[in-house]
């Protein structure tokens, strides 16, 4: 039978995304319009600036997604959007655009859970040998620090998350605190590059606290504070020579990745105790591009979706909506966004 084609929109945080994907897994287009430059000076996403940028960028993203896919809007079979979780005003832009498109084109509509979409990405990207349920997903980015157990296409359980800053933001902050050389890939990646570029290092591992040993919960603020205390005690960033910065960055990266490994091991032990046989660990999100993390060895099969599908994108939203379109489980126009939405 003919495949089903979805146009999906994503606007839960600071990226405006549109994509066209078919039910056979063909990615016909994948547009991501970033707005990092707008939020650079705010130490986080500025909520109203983000809404404004989405309002300006969404039509551009939709137009480009259709152009890239060489399709007319009328040839699309369904419209998907991110329903939550995310920033209220941001979600509203994608939701309104998707509903209006669905109504104008008279096509079915599906609102998708953003985290479920992240978790289902490897099924699309690892075809024809996708991870098999149940599998673990470690989602580590600027927005998320999550360890999930996926037991089916609709069933997920959070095994560990963080009550404070995400791992990606802490990489960014530590990198900025050490005034590391600029990288196109951002401050987190520049920290990794900086560490990899040097070999002679003083060992500062002892400075780094172990976070809640034995407990299935993440926290990276302790590592952040440890770096901050050290820098302050030495008279500030300018007073640190490059080899000390190397040592600090190295100790931080080791401890941060070490914490991920420790919590994954705990989660695997928990699964085993529950009689849940997990074969795959999917690692995704911006931090998953960290080579030091990729080289670390876990006892199970590691799956890394391609970087461009780990960061926020609309391909994953289209993909996560597919089973609902195909079973006729669609939403009507009264569907509301859910800024807070447990998985």
Mark 109-140 as b/e (b = at least 16 C-beta within 10 Å): bbbbbbbbbbbbbbbbbeeeebbeebbbbbbb
15 binds Zn ion (CB under 5 A): no
Q: Least distance from C-beta 116 to Zn ion, angstroms? A: 11
Structure tokens at 128: 């024809």
How far is residue 280 from each of residues 125, 258, 270, 277, measured CA to CA in Å? 14, 19, 15, 10
Q: Which does 188 bind (CB under 5 to 8 A by kind): ligand KG4, Zn ion, none?
A: ligand KG4
Single residue of 186, 209, 222, 258 touching ligand KG4 by CB under 6 A: 186
Piece of 127-135, 146-154, 248-256, 304-312 that binds Zn ion (CB under 5 A): 304-312
Span interacting with ligand KG4, options 89-97, 113-121, 127-135, 168-176, rule CB under 6 A: 168-176
CA distances, 75 to each of 72, 78, 168, 324, 328 (Å):
5, 9, 39, 19, 18
Q: Which is nearer to ligand KG4, 15 or 262 (CB)?
A: 15
Residue 187 in contact with ligand KG4, rule: CB under 6 A: yes
Burial of residue 97, with CB atoms counted within 10 A of its CB: 0-12 exposed, 13-18 middle, 19 or more buried: buried
Instruction: Please choose, from the candidates 107, 135, 234, 254, the residue with its C-alpha nearest in 3D space to the C-alpha of residue 177.
Output: 234
Residue at token pair 């080579």: 291
Burial of 50-82, coded b for 16+ CB within 10 Å and e otherwise, reads: bbebbbebbeebbeebbebbebeeeebbbbbbb
Nearer to ligand KG4, 5 or 311 (CB): 311
Per partner kind, with CB cut-offs from 5 to 8 A, the member of Zn ion, ligand KG4, none near residue 142 is ligand KG4
Q: What is the DSSP string of 108-170?
A: -EEEEEHHHHHHHHHHHHTTTSPPPSSEEEEEESSS-EEEEEEEETTEEEEEE--SS--HHHH
Return left, alpha or beta for 269; rule: phi > 0 is left, psi -120 to 50 is alpha, else beta. alpha
Binding residue (CB under 5 A) for Zn ion from 312, 316, 322, 330: 312
Q: How far is the CB of 131 from Zn ion (least distance, A)?
A: 19
Q: Binding pattern to ligand KG4, positions 109-148, x when CB under 6 A? A: --------------------------------xxx-----
Which stretch in 46-54, 84-92, 137-145, 186-194 sits in contact with Zn ion by CB under 5 A?
137-145
Contact with ligand KG4 (CB under 6 A): which of 81, 171, 218, 325? 171
Beta bridge partners of 282: 137, 303
- Residue with CB nearest Zn ion? 312
For ligand KG4, the closer of residues 11 and 141 by Cβ is 141
Contacts (CB under 6 A) with ligand KG4, residues 23-62: none
Q: Which residue from 27, 105, 110, 109 is spatially nearest to 69, judged by alpha carbons?
A: 27
Residue from 5, 250, 289, 321 in contact with ligand KG4 (CB under 6 A):
289
Q: Which is nearer to Zn ion, 108 or 143 (CB)?
A: 143
290 binds ligand KG4 (CB under 6 A): yes
Q: Which of ligand KG4, Zn ion, none interacts with 189 (beta carbon under 5 to 8 A by kind)?
A: ligand KG4
How far apart (Å, rounded) are the C-alpha atoms in residues 320 and 213? 35
Minimum separation from the CB atom of position 189 to ligand KG4 (A): 4
| Chain residues that interact with Zn ion, rule: CB under 5 A | 143, 312
| Chain residues that interact with ligand KG4, rule: CB under 6 A | 141-143, 168-169, 171-172, 185-189, 192, 285-287, 289-290, 310-312
């Amino acid at each position: 039978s003919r495949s089903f084609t979805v146009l999906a929109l994503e606007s839960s945080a600071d990226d405006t995304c549109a994509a066209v994907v078919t039910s056979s897994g063909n990615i016909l287009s994948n547009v991501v319009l970033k707005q990092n430059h707008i939020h650079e000076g705010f130490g986080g996403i500025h909520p109203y600036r983000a809404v404004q940028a989405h309002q300006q960028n969404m039509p551009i993203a939709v137009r480009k997604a259709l152009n890239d896919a060489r399709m007319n809007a009328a040839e699309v079979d369904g419209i998907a959007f991110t329903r939550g979780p995310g920033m209220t005003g941001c979600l509203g832009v994608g939701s309104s655009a998707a509903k209006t498109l669905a109504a104008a084109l008279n096509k079915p509509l599906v609102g998708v859970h953003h985290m479920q979409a992240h978790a289902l990405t490897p099924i699309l990207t690892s075809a024809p040998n996708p991870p098999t349920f149940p599998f673990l997903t470690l989602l580590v980015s600027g927005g998320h620090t999550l360890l999930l157990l996926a037991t089916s296409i609709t069933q997920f359980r959070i095994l560990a998350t963080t009550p404070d800053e995400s791992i990606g933001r802490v990489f960014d902050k530590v990198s900025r605190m050490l005034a590391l050389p600029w990288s196109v890939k951002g401050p987190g990646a520049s920290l990794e590059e900086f560490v990899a570029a040097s070999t002679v290092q003083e060992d500062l591992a002892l400075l780094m606290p172990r976070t809640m040993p034995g407990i299935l919960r993440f926290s990276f603020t302790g590592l952040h504070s440890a770096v901050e205390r050290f820098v302050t005690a030495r008279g500030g960033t300018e007073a640190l020579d490059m080899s000390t910065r190397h040592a600090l960055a190295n100790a931080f990266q080791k401890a941060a990745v070490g914490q991920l490994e420790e919590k994954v091991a705990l989660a695997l032990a928990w699964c085993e105790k529950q009689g849940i046989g997990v074969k795959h660990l999917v690692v995704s999100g911006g931090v998953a591009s960290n080579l030091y993390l990729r080289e670390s060895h876990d006892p199970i099969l590691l799956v890394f979706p391609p970087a461009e599908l780990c960061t926020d994108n609309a391909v994953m939203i289209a993909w996560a909506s597919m089973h609902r379109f195909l079973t006729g489980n669609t939403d009507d126009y009264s569907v509301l966004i859910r800024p807070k939405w447990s998985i």
